[in-house]
Amino acid sequence: MTTNPAAEFAQKQFDFLVVGGGPAGLAVATRLSERADLVVGVLEAGQAAFGDDKVEIPGLAGTGLDTELDWQFRTLPQAGLDGRAIPWGRGKVLGGSSALNYMTWNRASRHDYDEWEKLGNAGWGWDGLLPFFKKSETFHPPDDATKATGRIASHADAGDLGRDGPVQVCYPKQYSASHLLWHDTLNAVGVKSNDAHMAGDNTGCWTSVASVEPASFTRSYGANAYYEPVASRPNLVVLTGAEAREVLLVEANGGWKAKGVRFLHDGVEYNASASREVVLSCGSLQSPQLLELSGVGGEKVLTAAGIPVKVDNPNVGENLQDHLTTALVFEVDPSLQTPEDLRFPEVLAAAKEEYARSRTGLLATVPVSISYVPLDRYIPSETMKTMLSSSTGSDHVAERDEARRRRFVEQANELGHVEFIFDLGNWGVGFVPDPSGKTKYGSMLQIIQYPFSRGHLHVKPKTQDGSDSLTAALDIDPQYFGGHRGQLDLEIAAHAHLFAEKIAATQPLAGIIRSQVHPTPSEVDSESGLRDWLKRAMTTDWHPVGTCAMGGRAGVDGGVVDERLRVYGVEGLRVVDASVMPLQISAHLQATVYAIAEKGAHMILEDLGA
């Protein structure tokens, strides 16, 4: 007799329903299910991808984008980017975006998290988060040979990292030819190597840790780190292929209470119930989308979309912040191996054979050449003051705006305002490489960490063609280089571009570079030319945050959730993912997302009591 897993799921009596089987959702569900008396259900729209090379082999990172593992969102056309609509990849797979990312495992500086707490979000500073960073990870210390090859300091043995968490993290044992030149080059332009980049100050240059299990050298991510080891728990049920369409709210105590979730599975709708709480862990795009689909959001947005208003909160979907990135592309020494060589079948076959045999080669190489550089390294202080004073709008629109201004002026020499990464291969937007594959490339990425650009995303009415697609039903408008002070991002990018060129022209890295091919020198031989090129070349770094932000002291007037991650105006409903971050951080997001999930699960259990 065949069974219907969706019908069985809908009939089960859950204490908690977690919507979203990404890194945050699986971490929360795993921790809640450690209590045998709690029954936890997880709804995930994608399928499991255990054993999929696109996910598990580090050297194939990025190949899952724009496939069935990706929601394949796109932004609205961006006026600040010459009208371009930008692809926004998000994981539609068990494990979420942790199955698709490039495995960088780092933390922001202490100040970034302390700013969250200063906004009135008690317990969300560095000291409050550090135990949860460590709880999420098992760090595998490098041996002496790896330390020497990768220029890794001994700080990793000083207790900065966790030793018994689910996500396996390590330094790679093998490095690209360009990484071996990274530290000396950055040191030569005045950027020091950071001997403790995970300990609360990430400025300087360093070799990154990766979310990789060292023995098998495979990706360690939400699905195989948190869920797979405990998949047999009878009180933890995960349903894949299930698209959540609405949080079911009932009137209670003069307000609203979450009682379950309506979801779609194989074209059939079901309702699942939760006796205690519903937890949204759908990420910065889809957690606010699901709130709005459930009647929680701004009245104007919901009315326009034909959704009855239950809780009027115009902050839902607002405060969207993303890391903006451009890549300079260089022709490099043709004898170097680059990841793009894998597009040739014979190279890929040989690489797979080597990887299977020894866990070495192109498929065991990941980007680890990282540097976070303060503004004062490339923008004179007087220029910064002029830039800020000449921008439009008030300095005090909100506390969050004041915090951003403070980072820009008062901490120009303390924080990593722009991240620089060098990696072999072509990362350039709009650049067409030599189709023969004979020309080899390297790319210098410059990534703005504290953007002034602020956008939003909101649901819209069903598409005219009758499509019921969640992707088509979401308008995403990050307003790159737009909005209040957004032009400052363009100015910062222009100055950072010149510093990136300086790095590339400095030995020993310059020794493997033959010429700059994107942009060409003629494209950026004037200030206006450089800014025009940046508008054509800027794209996302896939790090959206802030759309269900913690309100802090401002409460419902300034956010969507309180410091316990409870949705304002709805009992029994929380959001636990990157969307709760009130301010963007100077770091890749995944380690922080796991820490948020660990802390969120801890608070849920704490509020539940014995």
What is the per-residue pLDDT across 525-542, written as a single tens digit (0 to 9) for each? 999 999 999 999 999 999
Average pLDDT over residues 425-445: 93
Average pLDDT over residues 194-213: 95
pLDDT value, residue 435:
87
pLDDT value, residue 580:
98
Average pLDDT over residues 574-590: 97
The answer to whether 217 and 169 are in contact (CB under 8 A) is no
Q: pLDDT grade, residue 243 (50/70/90)?
A: very high
Write out pLDDT tens, residues 440-461: 999 999 999 999 999 999 998 7
575 is in an annotated binding site: no
Average pLDDT over residues 519-524: 95
Kindly tell me if the per-residue pLDDT of 94 is higher than 90: yes
Preceding amide of 519 cis, omega within 30:
yes
**How far is the C-alpha of 166 from the C-alpha of 23, rounded, in Å?**
11
The pLDDT mean for the chain works out to: 93
Q: What percent of the chain has pLDDT over 90?
A: 85
Preceding amide of 508 cis, omega within 30:
yes
Q: Which of 60-74, 311-325, 398-412 has the lowest average pLDDT? A: 398-412
pLDDT value, residue 1:
44
Angle at 453 between CA 69 and CA 321, to 5 degrees: 40
For residue 403, the surrounding DSSP H or E stretch is helix 399-409
Kindly tell me if the per-residue pLDDT of 604 is higher than 50: yes
Query: Bridge partners of 193?
Result: 205
DSSP state letter for 48? -
Write out pLDDT tens, residues 346-395: 999 999 999 999 999 999 999 999 999 999 899 887 887 777 765 544 43
Q: Which of 95-104, 374-383, 464-473, 534-543 has the lowest average pLDDT? A: 464-473
Residue with tokens 């330390």: 147
250 is in an annotated binding site: no
Q: Which of 249-253, 376-380, 499-503, 561-565 has the lowest average pLDDT? A: 376-380
542 is in an annotated binding site: yes
Kindly tell me if the per-residue pLDDT of 492 is higher than 50: yes
Q: What does the block give as tokens for 58?
A: 């580090």
Between 273 and 378, the higher pLDDT residue: 273
pTM of the model: 0.96
pLDDT value, residue 390:
59
Beta strands in 178-254 (DSSP E): 204-207, 209-210, 212-213, 218-219, 236-240, 242-252
- Strand, coil or helix: 51: coil
pLDDT value, residue 2:
52
Those residues with Cβ within 8 angstroms of residue 87's Cβ, 6 or more apart along the chain or in another chain: 65, 66, 72, 73, 74, 540
The answer to whether 290 and 579 are in contact (CB under 8 A) is no
Q: In terms of Cα–Cα distance, which of 129, 136, 169, 164 is closest to 27?
A: 136
Q: Which of 26-30, 42-46, 115-119, 468-472 has the lowest average pLDDT? A: 468-472
Kindly tell me if the per-residue pLDDT of 471 is higher than 50: yes
Q: In terms of Cα–Cα distance, which of 548, 570, 569 is closest to 560?
A: 548
Phi, psi of 2, deg, nearest 5: -80, 155
Q: pLDDT grade, residue 105 (50/70/90)?
A: very high
- Strand, coil or helix: 4: coil
Q: Which of 198-212, 246-260, 397-411, 490-504 has the lowest average pLDDT? A: 397-411
Q: Which residues are catalytic?
A: 543, 588
